[in-house]
Amino acid sequence: MKNNDVKFTLPMLAEPRTVRLRFRKVDNLQYISHLDLQRTFNRVLVRAGLPLWYTKGFNPHIKMVFGMPLPVGSESECEMLDIRIEREMSEAEIKERLNRELTDELLVLDVYVPSEKFTAIAYAEYEYTIVTTGADAALAEQVEKALVGGNLTVTKKSKSGEKEISLSEYIHSAEVTFDAGVIAIRAKLSAAEGKYISPEALITALRRETGILTGDPTSEHYRILRCRALLADAQTEFR
């Protein structure tokens, strides 16, 4: 029996149920746009044979609500997508069916009934790994001072135009280490609605302030990985 046939044998729910998917988007898939991601999931959800709820009206479509935006070039282990189902299906089966259609670079890590709305997200935790000319313990210390006690600024774009903002207002905490030629940063950045800051802004500001990543582009590189979404206490993981 095909996936699309199985779902119609399942009992109907009294009301459509919202289900949250937590998935990774890493390696080469860091370069696909959010629009491409939407299109990919639209196809994957259909191929997986899930009992999806569709919007009503002239042009019915799958109801999909994504969490925090992820800029192209950044990776993540905590991307989230809410969908709605109209027939009974376990979270374990939803995960299994989806991962049959996906790869290790775009993989569903967890499926559950959400306890919070996306508007409850206050911070996002990121891991940065930076390989740059002249990297040593002293440069790592300079980077940490710039993040923790400095006055980093960055240009932020909005609908009303561009303005220079203080990055310190968006950094909850930052720790910097140096090992084997690599500068590593673990930072919690503001991700609240109306106060979201792109993780790339931190790199932009540090490049200007400390000179990192201004050498030979063929030998320098960095990686941004989003690890967790956090509530207002900056400790509790968003679910």
Q: Say which CATH number the domain at 106 has.
A: 3.30.70.580
Looking at residue 3, its pLDDT comes to 54
- Phi then psi dihedrals of residue 95, to 5 deg: -60, -45
Residue ending a domain, among 89, 114, 139, is 114
Per the CB < 8 A criterion, the answer to whether 49 and 17 are in contact is no
- Stretch 43-54: mean pLDDT, rounded? 95
Last residue of a domain, one of 114, 135, 170: 114
Q: What is the pLDDT of residue 160?
A: 76
Is 28 part of any domain?
yes
Residues 145 and 158 in one domain: yes
Answer yes or no: is 236 within a domain: no
- The angle subtended at Cα 91 by Cα 18 and Cα 110, nearest 5°, is 90
> Do 150 and 74 belong to one domain?
no
Residue 108 and residue 123 in one domain: no
- What is the number of structural domains in the chain? 2
Q: What does the DSSP 8-state code read for residue 238?
A: P
Q: Are residues 199 and 108 in the same domain?
A: no
Cα 227 to Cα 35, 100, 187, 199: the distances in Å are 22, 24, 10, 12
Domain closes at, from 114, 143, 176: 114
- Is 162 in the same domain as 205? yes
CB 62 within 8 A of CB 42: yes
Q: Are residues 88 and 186 in the same domain?
A: no
How far is 127 from 106, CA to CA, in rounded Å? 19
* Higher per-residue confidence, 59 vs 89: 89
- Measured CA to CA, the distance from residue 226 to residue 117 in angstroms comes to 19
The range of the structural domain enclosing residue 173 comes to 119-230
Cβ(21)–Cβ(63) below 8 Å = no
105-144 pLDDT, tens digit each:
999 999 999 999 999 999 999 999 999 999 999 999 999 9
Alpha helices in the chain (DSSP H): 3-6, 34-47, 91-100, 137-148, 200-210
Distance between CA 41 and CA 139 in Å, rounded?
42
Query: What number is the average pLDDT over the span 67-93?
Result: 95
Residue-level pLDDT at 69: 85
List Cβ neighbours of 192 (8 Å cut-off, separation of 6 or more): 121, 122, 123
User: Do residue 109 and residue 35 come from a single domain?
Assistant: yes
pLDDT digits (tens, 9 = 90+) for 164-218: 889 989 999 999 999 999 999 999 999 998 899 999 999 999 999 999 999 999 9
Residue 211 DSSP symbol: -
**Does 86 share its domain with 164?**
no
Within this chain, do residues 21 and 78 fall inside the same structural domain, yes or no?
Answer: yes
- For position 197, which CATH number holds? 3.30.2350.10
